[in-house]
Amino acid sequence: MIIASTAIFPTSEGASVSRYVKEVIKVIENSGLKTSTGGMSTTIEAPDLATLFKVIEKAEKKLVNMGAKRIHIDLQVDHRLDKEASIQSKLRAIDKT
Query: What are the tens digits of pLDDT across the range 1-52?
Result: 999 999 999 999 988 999 999 999 999 999 999 999 999 999 999 999 999 9
The answer to whether residue 80 scores a pLDDT higher than 90 is no
Look at strands 2-10 and 71-79 and give their pairing: antiparallel
Coil, strand or helix: which one is 29? helix
Look at strands 35-37 and 71-79 and give their pairing: unpaired
Answer positive or negative: Cα dihedral of 38, 44, 28, 6. Answer: positive
In this prediction, residue 86 has a pLDDT band, given cuts at 50, 70 and 90, of confident
Q: What are the chain's domains? A: 2-93 (3.30.70.930)
Q: Is the pTM of this model over 0.85?
A: yes
